[in-house]
Chains A and B, each alone.
Chain A
């Protein structure tokens, strides 16, 4: 316990007395985290977009002829609910469909006012639980009587999911790469610091300090640098993303009909990731860079 408080105290003293080196390390880690956050933002938005797409299109819509009765529709719903792979099935009237349409058009909804009567059909919507079964279900729906068409966006969903998967995987690979690069950069930065203190370390060893006693303060210093960098990059990310959402969210919604991930959610997730990364980069950096001097 006494050693721990000694270690932490020494780390803060070291940190303060090596201000320029600490500043350089913080700058390096912050830059890395900011570049990482760029990809995180991309990753997290694409993931949420993929979820939205799945939610929008993981359904089969059976358009009904106008003369099909509510009872017939209910029969279809009951039948569908019996099928495997169906999460839910419900009736959507033409009025519901129009309201949804209007909502999606947003400010341009007034254009729909000029329509004399509702051209949209009544429909039965089937939510699919198991995508594997979707084809069979669409096939099954074709056999109902009193239907106009069965709409299933399988190919669109497939294409979109493939695209988002590709983006997600690329982003992950790039992030992994960046993490490795940042550990190298940071360990080199810290190595410079340690190199300046190689003499110091050898003196400590002469006086009889154990390796962990020497390493401790450096390790805590690395962690401290990591935490500070995480905090700085988190603040910058918050400000930038907040601004970005302000400027772009409306356009993104109109173009892609999906919202951007809200700032709060993003920052909450980033806080933990950044903290973990900052701490591990800082501590890995200091341990790696000291190894050579301690083994000597």
Chain B
């Protein structure tokens, strides 16, 4: 579904990705983890063709993204649902309009919009919020709207960029349940995250990036199993901003 072949991306002062090769299969649920600046955002931006790779080849849904002309970018993005940490809802549109917008841009008929939007809102458990504006909703509800928007066109791929970063643990877990459901319906999910407890609980495939290289790719836990036994281990590399979602026990020392 998504394939990187020897992809390298350099920025002026530092490296984004360094000779990365990885394959994400259809139906996978993959966590992309790693410290800030490791290259996670670069990885996502390359899939969306927000930036171009310096070397290597990227394939998304059997299409070569590397050689794709700029005018095809909107089409590429319509096949990928995206969910952000900060929700990114259109503030001047209601919940219903926000979700409908994703269908309007691909010129779906009004009838289909009227049918599908309430369906997906119901699936996300926010059918009663259809006529509210985003700032009238709680963070968890906003993220549900964002997910509804991301999946309303039934994309094959859903990219979630720290979707639980702004949510309390209970709400975060609810969102994870929704993502899991969506994955079970056949959508490939790539989730960028720092939330160790969530990753550990889900027991899905984990790709860990550090300094632009994939340092680990296996099913299971956020960190190395042996590292987990050392309390000064990988958690010190977790940036402060994400710690709100962790147990209080992790809020000690380290980099900030």
Chain A interface (Cβ < 8 Å from any Cβ of B): 2-3, 6, 14, 17-18, 199-200, 202-210, 213
Could you tell me the distance in whole angstroms from the C-beta of B70 to the nearest C-beta in chain A?
10
CB <8 Å contact, B48 and A17: no
Write out the residue numbers on chain A whose beta carbons fall within 8 Å of the beta carbon of B101.
Answer: 204, 207
CB <8 Å contact, A207 and B149: yes
Q: What residue of chain A has the Cβ atom nearest to residue B86's Cβ?
A: A199
CB <8 Å contact, A204 and B82: no
Q: Per-residue CB proximity of B86-108 to A under 8 Å, as 1/0?
A: 00111110000000011011110
CB <8 Å contact, A2 and B92: no
CB <8 Å contact, A213 and B92: no
Q: Which of the candidate stretches B72-80, B174-182, B229-237 sits at the interface with the other chain?
A: B72-80
Cα–Cα distance between A203 and B92 once the two chains are bound (Å): 12
CB <8 Å contact, A2 and B90: no
Write out the residue numbers on chain B whose beta carbons fall within 8 Å of the beta carbon of A205.
Answer: 74, 77
Chain B interface (Cβ < 8 Å from any Cβ of A): 48, 74-78, 82, 88-92, 101-102, 104-107, 149
CB <8 Å contact, B105 and A208: yes
CB-defined A-B contacts under 8 Å, sample of 21: A199-B88, A199-B91, A200-B90, A200-B91, A202-B88, A203-B88, A204-B90, A204-B105, A206-B48, A207-B77, A207-B101, A207-B102, A207-B105, A208-B75, A208-B77, A208-B78, A208-B102, A208-B105, A209-B105, A210-B74, A210-B105
Query: A206-B48, A207-B77, A207-B149 in contact; A213/B88 too (CB < 8 A)?
Result: no
CB <8 Å contact, A6 and B75: no
Query: A200-B90, A200-B91, A203-B90 in contact; A208/B107 too (CB < 8 A)?
Result: no
Cα–Cα distance between A205 and B48 once the two chains are bound (Å): 11
CB <8 Å contact, A213 and B82: no
CB <8 Å contact, B74 and A209: yes
Q: What residue of chain A has the Cβ atom nearest to residue B105's Cβ?
A: A209
Q: What residue of chain B has the Cβ atom nearest to residue A3's Cβ?
A: B107
Write out the residue numbers on chain B whose beta carbons fall within 8 Å of the beta carbon of A3.
Answer: 107
Could you tell me the distance in whole angstroms from the C-beta of A72 to the nearest C-beta in chain B?
84
CB <8 Å contact, A200 and B92: yes
Write out the residue numbers on chain A whose beta carbons fall within 8 Å of the beta carbon of B102.
Answer: 207-208
CB <8 Å contact, A14 and B92: yes
Write out the residue numbers on chain A whose beta carbons fall within 8 Å of the beta carbon of B88.
Answer: 199, 202-203, 206
Sorted from nearest, which 9 A-B pairs have the closest CB atoms? A208-B77, A208-B78, A209-B105, A208-B74, A210-B74, A17-B92, A203-B88, A207-B102, A200-B90
Q: What residue of chain A has the Cβ atom nearest to residue B109's Cβ?
A: A2
Cα–Cα distance between A204 and B106 once the two chains are bound (Å): 12
Write out the residue numbers on chain A whose beta carbons fall within 8 Å of the beta carbon of B90.
Answer: 200, 203-204
Write out the residue numbers on chain A whose beta carbons fall within 8 Å of the beta carbon of B48.
Answer: 206
Q: What residue of chain A has the Cβ atom nearest to residue B103's Cβ?
A: A207
CB <8 Å contact, A6 and B104: yes
Could you tell me the distance in whole angstroms from the C-beta of B244 to the nearest C-beta in chain A?
23
Q: Which of B77, B78, B107, B149 contacts A2 (CB 8 A)?
A: B107
Cα–Cα distance between A17 and B105 once the two chains are bound (Å): 20
5 other contacts beyond A18-B92, A208-B78, with CB at 8 A cut-off? A203-B90, A204-B90, A207-B77, A207-B78, A207-B102
Chain B CB within 10 Å, residue with most, of A3, A202, A208: A208
